[in-house]
């Protein structure tokens, strides 16, 4: 923490974030860390968001925050211009003009323990947590409990249909809701969860002995082939909804370690805005 007596600076907040979520734990393709901001600038108020989009930037400016801590990188892929006439350039200019720092913790927060999927698992009361895909030995993130996703036991067994309705009730509300694939009557005792895009972990869920996997962004062919091979049942939620729970843990960390007033954005930044079910097929029979 700062020893100047003037309160924490951007450098101080970054230090606490990187103590819990070291950037070296991030995947090689990821872009994490301080994106914008003067390191010596004071930080009195922080806003935690999943996505850095015009709506959350406006929320930050309205709340007069000094720093945004985001899960998703603003500049994940290379850009050749940050002119204010471009989508991302406009955001960069707004934040710089307002003196708002921007920090990103992405896959380094995914693999941390506790991390993004621990917060998701807590929504279901899972016990006996272990990583869905443990960090590989020799990797920077290797260590007790660290890795992508979590697997645990539900407080009591549910059918897949019951679990799907329960998931829709305990996760942040979105127009997407939650859809499931598999036998609606299948009993689920062991649940795997992975915040964000998770169809890379279908095989991991089955190998871990999970009865079902809840994640986001599942695709038609991988899901169908997984189920055809008698894999775990699948629950597909909105991407934002599976990662929003972590913001509460992130905010608690910053309040405890820096003393900074920390706000959490509840703006639903999932791009899907309308959902309609085909009549009479909400719970269709699974394929033989």
What are the binding residues for a divalent metal cation?
A: 71-72, 110, 239, 243
Residue for token digits 């791009």?
271
Cα distance between residue 270 and residue 151, in whole Å: 25
Q: Is the peptide bond before 17 cis (omega within 30 degrees of 0)?
A: no
Contact 190, 155 (CB under 8 A): no
C-beta of residue 67 within 8 angstroms of C-beta of residue 95: no
Q: How far apart are CA 207 and CA 205, in angstroms?
A: 5
Beta bridge partners of 263: 47
> Tokens standing for 137?
């030995």
- Taking alpha carbons only, the member of 108, 96, 237 closest to residue 174 is 237
Can you tell me whether residue 59 is helix, strand or coil? helix
What's the CA gap between 204 and 218, in Å, rounded?
14
Peptide bond into 114 cis (omega under 30): yes
Task: Give the dihedral of Cα atoms 135, 23, 110, 262; nearest 10 deg.
Answer: 150
Binding residues, by number, are: 71-72, 110, 239, 243
DSSP summary character for residue 25: G
Measured CA distances, 196 to 82, 168, 241, 245 (Å): 27, 16, 9, 12
């Amino acid at each position: 923490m700062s020893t100047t007596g003037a309160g924490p600076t951007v450098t101080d907040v970054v230090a606490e974030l990187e103590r819990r979520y070291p950037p070296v734990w991030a995947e090689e393709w990821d872009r994490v860390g301080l994106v914008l901001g003067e390191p010596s600038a004071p930080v009195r108020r922080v806003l935690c968001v999943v996505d850095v989009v015009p709506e959350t930037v406006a929320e930050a400016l309205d709340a007069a925050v000094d720093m945004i801590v985001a899960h998703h990188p603003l500049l994940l892929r290379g850009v050749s211009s940050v002119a204010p006439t471009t989508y991302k350039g406009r955001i960069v200019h707004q934040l710089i003009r307002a003196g708002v720092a921007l920090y990103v913790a992405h896959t380094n927060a995914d693999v941390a323990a506790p991390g993004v999927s621990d917060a998701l698992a807590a929504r279901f009361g899972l016990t006996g947590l272990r990583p869905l895909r443990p960090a590989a030995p020799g990797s920077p993130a290797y260590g007790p409990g660290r890795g992508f996703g979590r697997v645990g036991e539900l407080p009591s067994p549910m059918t897949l249909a019951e679990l799907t309705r329960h998931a829709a009730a305990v996760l942040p509300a979105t127009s997407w809701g939650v859809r499931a694939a598999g036998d609606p009557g299948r009993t689920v005792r062991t649940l795997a969860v992975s915040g964000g895009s998770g169809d890379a972990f279908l095989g991991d869920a089955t190998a871990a002995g999970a009865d079902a996997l809840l994640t986001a962004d599942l695709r038609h062919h991988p899901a169908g082939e997984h189920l055809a091979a008698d894999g775990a049942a699948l629950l597909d939620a909105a991407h934002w909804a599976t990662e929003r729970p972590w913001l509460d843990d992130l905010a608690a960390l910053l309040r405890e370690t820096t003393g900074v007033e920390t706000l959490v954005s509840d703006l639903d930044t999932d791009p899907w805005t309308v959902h309609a079910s085909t009549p009479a097929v909400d719970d269709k029979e699974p394929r033989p």
